[in-house]
Structure 1
């Protein structure tokens, strides 16, 4: 509780972004770059709860940490990282909603993995350096492409076309041997129409957790043609990541207290009985994206966008396994010296090799009273899953490059939508949004545990949305909205559940926006009613993926408040907080061999209070100092409110400084236009906190054959104590 009181006290006194950093929701003239994301974004006065983040805001803390960590201070956001320091595998939850239920698009193209529905930012290292802006919508939001938004969506727009030639070199260094190296360039407009721009990046880190290293290489290349009414962009971006596994967390409470960086991944015992760690217990994955966008403006009213995408992903994770049964790998027992051998130590790789195609087509109409967008999207995914043994102490009858399992997943997703905002008069505007979505998912072959896996499911979803905005006066708006979302299960859901159903959400939002030059206050109430929500059970599978299950009826009811206050010309504050109640209406669990009705219980990983705050001091346009705070209340990792599943609350504080030296005089200007120095101290008060974990149970039937005893267990992901990053950017 003392952390909560400290945070509330700080909230009263302080917070973030000054007026110069205030995000602009819309412009009077929409650029052709913005048409790329018009189909999946909303305007400032729409009845959809959202936050906008600009390139300038991202760059202040972009020293190598992943995009989820850079969004940590937005309302209702909770982030975590396996390696503990924000580099590598990171995750984001919004309103307690897991990553599998958050829709991500890049330039309107779906980015969520088609089968797992998850988002792996690790495959796009330093992607923040190529982001022009992003919009985070909380709740169902507007219609979007790909798997439906089921409580939140993040819509990313990549770098806009630059009119002038420029280049920059960025380098940063910090704790745990973390370093980021980035080179960017743009030719500017050649012959007033053509631009080529690009980026190369490498991020490396040893990680806070032992051996949880990351080596992330990425690129971004863009060629564009632009005139007054046409924008054609050809983009390719992607990356290669090699990260040492840290997804098992830490279950030993003694280690958690005395050696919290210990990593069990890769551990084994050699022939002499010594404890060792496999040096290549890594996740190794490549992902390349190719996009083509054609935006056309016909007149002041009509514009269109055509988007095409191909994504190629391939890679594996490697594991050292001890005493594995030959039968689990389709191998025959062998006899050596009269002894039958049925087990072996081995090193295996589990592979993914997939292709993903997308086509989007949208048209937009806008006049003084009506804004109308309609379009369609089609995607096709084909993914191979297979396993290889690359070394074995006893190889049995295996051959080089043998596959011990093979499986395939195919998914086709078609959607069409029409949405409109109509201004009735100076006070009222109406919003309507209708989406139809068809999903076809088929699997064949075996799972990684060599279990036959055959799914053949077709889903047809209708997702209506409606809302109204009332303009009280120039600075105050009220809005009310309703939205429905339906979402299919993912591959893991089918593997982990005998029966799994699609989930449905009805989302009600009531909000007030007050906005003037010195004071901004947004407040909204939300009620999200679920039918068969796929909630996290708390458990993870043998590769660290979260296990989900249908929960019948459930709901999330909350109040979100965010503000920005300019106290003086130099000092501004911006707090935000979320108070919520997140409940399964009825939870039935097996405890000691009996089915027990626990009644209404808390939904897993859904804290009742989340708050963020920042104090911004900017004495001049070149220097900014920010003190950032984050409080996350206690939460359960399971749905039974078991004491062993509780994660404690935590309160962490960061400090960020940026200083820019500009060279305005061209005659005395060196080779570059400006130098920007950045510094970030994370967790400056050395809080030993845990942001994520897992909880599981199993029945002990062997200790006492006449009794069933339910055994509980939990694992935790410790986050880094005080650490720092410093960097410099040379802009040419």
Structure 2
């Protein structure tokens, strides 16, 4: 089969792929049960009700359960576990899904994907990004997860600009339980997890927790990861009250792999080569610094109080404190003294103003959040109103821990030192109203104020003073029409506004906030176990902050305002029960993602390229799962993913093109019921990239002006780097439940 596939032309491969996914294109990635408005909700679920939607809402979404995550939870980060959801593209620096990973939805970067954990914002307040590496094995403590595509509903923290991911951690368990899970695989990847729950003691109290350690050498050379994490919660629950005190976090040490690979010959012949830590010794030999690592710890403390007063009224209060601290370390050759504020040395009459050195760039931050919501339900009306306030205080500073020529430096000297403060205050009111047996209305109003102020200097020893305040009004409205018991139609409109992040301000003092008007039109069909969803979207942007393709010197993506732009797409997804033992779960996204006008300087002149593709936005993304369950306790799943070609720039430059790729994985789960010490033993296996495809999911593109080789003329030089992904690799695991 592999030989046959490889002998096809690229065009025919893509046609075959598209035909394969069109086999059953029809609906939801997981079955959703209609919510009964009279049902008394679980108090655990109320934690995330303010930021989630139900099955009948006119918001495009996918629900993922604990059971869904467990089938492939063998050490890879959460983005990799969501890879087969509609419109999702994932990437990983180390190539194998452990360490730094990223997720894009509808082509929108992780900086524009809002993530909440129990309703508390998780995105980094300054970069707006999400660093799953700080939450190793968090899937093992996730009760459920909802991915909303588009603007979605009002959420806490920075607004969703393409998607939102709402995570609910472990629910209160009535019964005592324990779990020991171990997995092993390629690149010396290992995951070790221990979980426990006391069950409800005296019918009211529960203590539960988890300890995990994930290690991997990575597919890319030296791209190792050592992720230690924990989760601990104490709960009190009765019929109408839930208190939860939760702490979770972790420490990660990962060898840097964010440089990518710019050498095209090495990309072809030595695609695992990693330039991070590379230097030349006194004999001219290439060496690699052994501690070119990112070393960071992050600890979260949450307190939640859910109170139900009667079947109509309930309240939720959430408090959060997050402490983050760490650095990344680099060996740098022939660094200029001026770049570090050092004074030149006079050594026997020779002026020394360059040195090899080892530096650390530090982050030390504190993040505080308070959320409060009130919910009223009666006579077809479900109303939630509330607010959220957060305060971020972060220090950025750098230290030289060794230098060949140390100049006047002292231990603990900081060659740059800056501070950032950010306050985020929002209020919202959200309502679902069942007008009659056929029509349900949805409305959502949010006002949000953001204040961001910086002092001190950047890593370039340049004064960095930002003092900005933004006030955004984000209205949303929608309607759902129930044709019959099997069919719903919905339409929604949502506006979102979003502030620039720290890197945006550093790279462009005149950067503007971005605005999105999102239109969604969908059809949901469910007949027994057969499910079909179709959704058309039109996302109209003003000053969208698109990825330019460039990176700064610490691996942060640089964004730029793109004026007018849009994303127009069609999403199809289905569950097709072929028989009682065989199910197909395909999904497909077809889209057009365009900047309406792109003007760039090139070879010393401004050039108007007209309408161009938005960077990192493939026009075709498809996935499929063939699930075969021959017996009750055995499940075999063939997983396929196709991502069309995309550009890393907004200029459609050939050098910036990423080729399309088609990847297939195989997942096996077998549960052995026992009557001994353990309730069950679960065996899990995963083979990734079965056909050994050499593919690339991410990279960077840059240009610079070269006016030295031809004095008097300006020539634009292009460059690109790529992040190769792992070829065939595997993971196997065993979980003991008791």
Offset from partner CA, 1:482-502 (integer Å, 9 cap, x none): 000000000000001131000
Asked if 1:52 is matched to 2:58, the reply is no
Residues 501-522 of structure 1 deviation map (CA, whole Å, 9 limit, x = unaligned): 0000000000000012221000
Match of 1:227 in 2: 238
Partner in structure 2 of residue 666 of structure 1: none
Q: Is 1:5 aligned with 2:15?
A: yes
Name the counterpart of 1:94. 105
Matched, 1:682 2:688: yes
Aligned to 1:626: 637
Distance, in Å, in 2 between the alignment partners of 1:383 and 1:153 is 24
Q: 1:731 to 1:14 in 2, by over 3 A?
A: farther
Q: 2:135 maps to what in 1?
A: 124
Q: Which residue of 1 aligns with 2:609?
A: 598
* 1:215 partnered with 2:221: no
What pairs up with 1:465-476 in 2 under 5 angstroms? Answer: 465-476=476-487
1:291 aligned to 2:302? Answer: yes
The count of residues paired between Structure 1 and Structure 2 equals 726
CA distance in 1, matches of 2:17, 2:551: 32
Query: Which residue in the other structure is 2:705 paired with?
Result: 699
In 2, the alpha carbon distance for the partners of 1:338 and 1:707 equals 39
- Contact between 2:27 and 2:572, CA under 8 Å: does it hold in 1? no
2:443 is aligned, of 432, 453, 462, to 432
| 1:25 Cα deviation after fit | 6.5
Q: 1:24-103, aligned counterparts within 5 Å?
A: 24=33, 26=35, 28-103=39-114
Q: CA deviation at 1:604?
A: 0.3
Q: Distance in 1 between matches of 2:484 and 2:491?
A: 17
Alignment equivalent of 2:586, drawn from 575, 578, 581: 575
- Which residue among 100, 109, 116 is the counterpart of 1:105? 116
SS of aligned partner of 1:619: strand
The CA RMSD measured in Å over matched residues stands at: 1.3
Structure 1 residue aligned with 2:174: 163
Structure 1, residues 256-315: CA drift from partner, whole Å, max 9, x if none? Answer: 000000000000001111100000000000000000000001111111100000000000
1:297-376 equivalences under 5 Å are 297-376=308-387
The residue aligned with 1:251 is 262
Question: Unaligned 5+ residue runs, structure 2?
Answer: 1-10
Structure 1 counterpart of 2:31? 22
Structure 1 residue 725 corresponds to structure 2 residue 713: no
Tell me the secondary structure at the aligned position of residue 44 of structure 2: helix
Q: In structure 1, what is the Cα distance between the partners aligned to 2:670 and 2:19?
A: 29
Once the two structures are superposed, residues 510-540 of structure 1 have per-residue CA deviations (whole angstroms, 9 ceiling, x without a partner) of: 0000012221000010000000000000111
- CA change 1:186–1:16 in 2 (3 A) is farther
Contact 1:65/1:87 (<8 A) preserved: yes
Q: Which residue does 1:133 correspond to in 2?
A: 144
Residue segments in structure 1 that go unaligned for 5+ positions in a row: 664-668
Task: Check the 8 A contact 2:491/2:520 in 1, yes or no.
Answer: yes
Q: CA deviation at 1:706?
A: 2.3
Distance 1:645 1:137 in 2: 29
Counterparts of residues 146-161 of structure 1 (less than 5 Å): 146-161=157-172
Q: State how far apart, in whole Å, the 1-side matches of 2:13 and 2:501 are.
A: 37
Flag the 1:566–1:641 CA change in 2: closer, same or farther, 3 A. Answer: same
SS of equivalent residue, structure 1 residue 119: coil
| Post-superposition offset of 1:26 | 4.3
Equivalents in 1 of 2:401, 2:415: separation in Å?
Answer: 11
Q: Is the 8 A contact 2:637 2:668 kept in 1?
A: yes
DSSP 3-state at the match of 1:412:
strand
| Residue-by-residue CA offset, 1:329-359 (whole Å, 9 max, x unaligned) | 1111112222111110000000000000000
Q: CA offset at residue 12 of structure 1?
A: 4.0
CA contact (8 A) 1:18 1:565 kept: no
Greater Cα offset, 8-17 or 557-566? 8-17
Report the CA distance between 1:17 and its aligned residue: 11
2:627 aligned counterpart, secondary structure: strand
Q: Name the residue aligned to 2:281.
A: 270
- The change in CA–CA distance for 1:126 and 1:17 in structure 2 (over 3 A counts) is farther
SS of 2:622's partner is strand
1:708 Cα deviation after fit: 1.1
1:657 correspondence with 2:668: yes
1:238 maps to 249
- SS for the counterpart of 2:547 is strand
Q: Structure 1 residues 25 and 337 mapped into 2: Cα distance closer, same or farther (>3 Å)?
A: farther
Q: 1: distance between equivalents of 2:115 and 2:652?
A: 31
Question: Runs of 4 or more off by more than 6 Å in structure 1?
Answer: 14-19
Determine if contact 1:283/1:317 at 8 Å carries over to the other structure: yes
- The residue that corresponds to 1:715 in the other structure is 721
Partners of 1:618 and 1:257 in 2: CA distance: 40
TM-score by length of 1: 0.98
Equivalent in the alignment of 1:488: 499
**Residue pairs, 1:605-620, within 5 angstroms:** 605-620=616-631
Report if the CA contact (8 A) 1:410-1:443 is conserved. Answer: yes
Mapping of residues 386-535 of structure 1, within 5 Å: 386-535=397-546
Paired residue for 1:144? 155
Contact 1:18 1:572 in 2 (8 A): no
* Deviation digits for residues 648-701 of structure 1 (CA, Å, limit 9, x no counterpart): 0000000000000012xxxxx221100000000000000000000111111110
Write the distance in 1 (CA, Å) between the matches of 2:352 and 2:390: 48
Q: Does the CA-based 8 Å contact 1:16-1:573 persist in structure 2? A: no
Paired with 1:151 and 1:89, the residues of 2 have a C-alpha distance of 21
Q: Is the 8 A contact 1:24 1:52 kept in 2?
A: no
The Cα of 1:327 is off from its aligned counterpart by 1.4
**Residues 25, 44 of structure 1: 8 Å contact kept:** yes
Distance (Å, rounded) in 2 between the aligned partners of 1:323 and 1:59: 49
Q: Hey, what's the Cα distance between the residues in 1 that align with 2:460 and 2:28?
A: 54
Residue 303 of structure 2 aligns to a residue in which SS? strand
Instruction: Return the alpha-carbon distance in structure 2 between the equivalents of residues 335 and 108 of structure 1.
Output: 59
Q: Which residue, 671, 675, 678 being the options, matches 2:677? A: 671
For residue 6 of structure 1, report the CA deviation from its aligned partner: 2.7
Per the alignment, do residues 18 and 626 of structure 1 end up closer, same or farther by CA in structure 2, a change over 3 Å counting?
Answer: farther
Contact 2:26 2:533 in 1 (8 A): no
Q: Secondary structure at the match of 2:173?
A: coil
Checking the alignment, whether the CA contact within 8 Å between 2:112 and 2:161 is kept in structure 1 is yes
d(CA) in 1 for partners of 2:478, 2:718: 45
